[in-house]
Chain A
């Protein structure tokens, strides 16, 4: 075994100092590794999530949509219920930068005039190409309360001496673009509020079920099974019909959210229960118990942080079903009702095939539903992948 040492002189190598101690591994590492060592769960998740390009784009889209919804009164040129007489079923107008008269830095639209075809008795809108209506920014219009606080009458854009309907108008001459924005406020918040309620219910019932087990668990699981075995549409219809008709629009809105989340929590409840069951007997939880940590503290510091990221990911995936549910309820006429504006309420007008043939732009709110749902699904996928940064 010692022959090896004889070659030491031959190679004339200077022996290095003693090898590092048992725990010395940081010497050879760069800054990035160092950073990882101190990274919290959420940092690790963020680093992992960042790599998911589609989810990142979706997150940007969603944030943009919410900003638009929050500032809807400012961005929209009109009020959502404002009727423009003589402008029923106007098709979407084109915003132009140039025509045969040349280029204009300021975008413009042509004024439109209604004409009735004597033969078919149908409305037609003719663009008057001789005149340009410049689109101006920060124009004064109808007054509103920004964020429900500040009285204001400045709108992002508008035209003077005419109208601008980016998405056209509906059967009562209301601007669709404006209504899509206002509808987003309702539709996109109903998902959030509903999911928040489901989260509360799911955490409480799932948590109790998993943590205490036994008869309580049994009872809660049976309730979940019963709730899940109801066919959803008829149940919604029944509950929707049960909402008193004299309820204010806000009341109906709250009612619908509660109905949605009453059924929506079950899946989440099961998930929470599963996680709690698995974590309850995890070694680090037993260690905490042996250390003398109290049960509420174990729940708060060990259990909830351990499954929260998974729960957030699956919540994100369940927001789309909330908005779809709202849309279908309103579409069927048992959800939100006018004068409340939501995407579902707006789509109600698109029920009639004849109307659709004549005014296909009434489907535009549907496009937004699709974009919103898809974006949330992609975002949820990305979150789910990033949710467990400690896995392989």
Chain B
């Protein structure tokens, strides 16, 4: 029987995802480990192609058929038993139950989870009638309540409209309502505001925050925007080329970043209170292709502090703070230091 740390609702251990393509094997995720404490939120942050979306999608087995997944994805059920999602048969009854009732997802593009040919009510009520055994009348009341909750005005009338009659912001809200209709315990938000303008982004993010409190959700937020996670999550995992390079509590990551990539990333963000003409520091080079992973440390080629050891050794995960981990050979030996201090 698998064991999980007390208080965690989800633990992903040594997750590896490869895609077998005609052109070769894409090493999308290489040994990713993270955990989601119950009722908390974590952010998975990285640039395009770092594997953040693939990691999150593998939690609900929503990957295409070319994917080969290994590792453990442990999920704590309501009754306390532990399910390894990675071992569940694809498209089996179990994973459908988990997708239907336990883990909901919201996406960048709302129309990818809303059907254009059904009214909002039909889509929202489906899960309620199917899984929660409500009558149609009960479901209707609940739908209106949900839509009101996510801030849609005239919910009684709107509930019978089609998604295309909604504006962009309202669709985003309707999608969130849809995710909540199943009363999930985990919410996975995949770049929920990337396509939105800044004022709308602010609205949607604060709605997600409210809903997290209201429904006592545990949340995984996937984004490339450090500004967003700074205000949204409790823990941050920084990913680069399929690996988690650093993870820790939000404040710790922002105020005491250890990995050269995290530092580079934080420094390269333009700030609202910058100065005209000032140069923003940048990370040289671009993210290499996931077809041919370099040996050793994946960040090596762009790192300003690289050593010869980075060529051959895949850096270990080193604990440098109470919940702060970094995978970088610069910190070899600090583990003992931390242990001695503690």
Interfacial residues, chain A to chain B (CB-CB below 8 A): 1, 3-5, 7-8, 10-11, 13-16, 18-22, 24-25, 28-30, 33, 51
| Interface stretch (choices B69-77, B173-181, B235-243, B283-291) | B283-291
Supposing A1-B257, A13-B308 touch, asked if A19 and B284 sit within 8 A by C-beta, the answer is yes
Q: List 11 A-B contacts (CB under 8 A).
A: A1-B256, A1-B257, A7-B330, A7-B332, A10-B333, A11-B307, A11-B309, A13-B307, A16-B306, A19-B303, A20-B284
CA separation between A51 and B304, bound complex, in Å? 41
> Which among B258, B288, B308, B330 is the interface contact of A16 at CB below 8 angstroms?
B308
- What is the predominant secondary structure among interface residues of chain A facing chain B? loop
* A residues less than 8 Å from B284 (CB atoms): 19-22
Supposing A4-B305, A14-B307, A19-B303 touch, asked if A24 and B285 sit within 8 A by C-beta, the answer is yes
Q: Are A20 and B301 in contact (CB under 8 A)?
A: yes
Q: Chain A's nearest CB lies how many Å from the CB of B333?
A: 5
Supposing A20-B285, A20-B301, A28-B294 touch, asked if A7 and B331 sit within 8 A by C-beta, the answer is yes
Q: Are A14 and B304 in contact (CB under 8 A)?
A: no
Q: Are B306 and A10 in contact (CB under 8 A)?
A: no
* A residues less than 8 Å from B317 (CB atoms): none
Q: Are B307 and A51 in contact (CB under 8 A)?
A: no
Q: Chain A's nearest CB lies how many Å from the CB of B174?
A: 29
**Is residue B22 within 8 Å, beta carbon to beta carbon, of the partner chain?**
yes
CA separation between A21 and B294, bound complex, in Å? 17
Minimal Cβ-Cβ distance residue in B for A16? B306
CA separation between A355 and B205, bound complex, in Å? 79
**Is residue B94 within 8 Å, beta carbon to beta carbon, of the partner chain?**
no
Q: B327-342: which have CB < 8 Å to A?
A: 328-334
**Is residue B302 within 8 Å, beta carbon to beta carbon, of the partner chain?**
yes
Supposing A4-B330, A25-B288 touch, asked if A19 and B302 sit within 8 A by C-beta, the answer is yes
> Which among B288, B309, B334 is the interface contact of A13 at CB below 8 angstroms?
B309
Q: Are A51 and B22 in contact (CB under 8 A)?
A: yes
Interface size class of B (residues with CB under 8 A): 20 to 34
CA separation between A22 and B283, bound complex, in Å? 8
Supposing A1-B263, A7-B332 touch, asked if A19 and B309 sit within 8 A by C-beta, the answer is no
CA separation between A235 and B309, bound complex, in Å? 78
> Other than the known A5-B330, A11-B309, A28-B301, what 10 A-B pairs have Cβ atoms closer than 8 Å?
A1-B257, A4-B258, A7-B332, A8-B307, A11-B329, A19-B301, A19-B306, A20-B284, A22-B284, A22-B285
Question: Chain B 135-153 against A: per-residue CB contact (8 Å), 1 yes, 0 no?
Answer: 0000000000000000000
* B residues less than 8 Å from A3 (CB atoms): 334
* B residues less than 8 Å from A1 (CB atoms): 256-258, 263
Residue from the set A1, A11, A18, A29 with the largest chain B CB neighbour count within 10 Å = A11
CA separation between A10 and B308, bound complex, in Å? 14
Minimal Cβ-Cβ distance residue in A for B22? A51
* B residues less than 8 Å from A21 (CB atoms): 284
Q: Chain A's nearest CB lies how many Å from the CB of B289?
A: 9
Minimal Cβ-Cβ distance residue in B for A14? B308
Q: B250-274: which have CB < 8 Å to A?
A: 256-258, 263
Q: Are A28 and B307 in contact (CB under 8 A)?
A: no
Minimal Cβ-Cβ distance residue in A for B304? A19
CA separation between A345 and B306, bound complex, in Å? 77
Residue from the set A13, A15, A25, A33 with the largest chain B CB neighbour count within 10 Å = A13
Q: Chain A's nearest CB lies how many Å from the CB of B296?
A: 11
Q: Are A15 and B332 in contact (CB under 8 A)?
A: no
* A residues less than 8 Å from B306 (CB atoms): 15-16, 19
> Which among A15, A20, A22, A33 is the interface contact of B307 at CB below 8 angstroms?
A15
Supposing A10-B333, A51-B22 touch, asked if A16 and B307 sit within 8 A by C-beta, the answer is yes
CA separation between A7 and B22, bound complex, in Å? 44
Q: Are A4 and B331 in contact (CB under 8 A)?
A: yes
Residue from the set B303, B328, B331 with the largest chain A CB neighbour count within 10 Å = B331
CA separation between A5 and B307, bound complex, in Å? 12
CA separation between A24 and B284, bound complex, in Å? 9
Q: Are A28 and B257 in contact (CB under 8 A)?
A: no
Minimal Cβ-Cβ distance residue in B for A3? B334
* A residues less than 8 Å from B329 (CB atoms): 11, 13
* A residues less than 8 Å from B22 (CB atoms): 51
Residue from the set B303, B308, B328 with the largest chain A CB neighbour count within 10 Å = B308
Minimal Cβ-Cβ distance residue in B for A11? B332
Question: Chain B 11-31 against A: per-residue CB contact (8 Å), 1 yes, 0 no?
Answer: 000000000001000000000
Minimal Cβ-Cβ distance residue in B for A15? B307
> Which among B285, B292, B328 is the interface contact of A19 at CB below 8 angstroms?
B285
Residue from the set A8, A22, A30, A33 with the largest chain B CB neighbour count within 10 Å = A22
* A residues less than 8 Å from B294 (CB atoms): 28
CA separation between A19 and B308, bound complex, in Å? 12
Q: List 3 tightest A-B contacts by C-beta distance, closest first.
A: A13-B307, A4-B330, A13-B309
Q: Chain B's nearest CB lies how many Å from the CB of A24?
A: 7
CA separation between A4 and B257, bound complex, in Å? 11
CA separation between A16 and B300, bound complex, in Å? 10
Q: Chain B's nearest CB lies how many Å from the CB of A210?
A: 28
Minimal Cβ-Cβ distance residue in B for A30? B292
Minimal Cβ-Cβ distance residue in A for B334? A7
Minimal Cβ-Cβ distance residue in B for A23? B285
Q: Are A10 and B332 in contact (CB under 8 A)?
A: yes
CA separation between A225 and B11, bound complex, in Å? 60
CA separation between A15 and B311, bound complex, in Å? 11
CA separation between A21 and B286, bound complex, in Å? 10
Q: Chain A's nearest CB lies how many Å from the CB of B186?
A: 30
Q: Chain A's nearest CB lies how many Å from the CB of B49?
A: 13
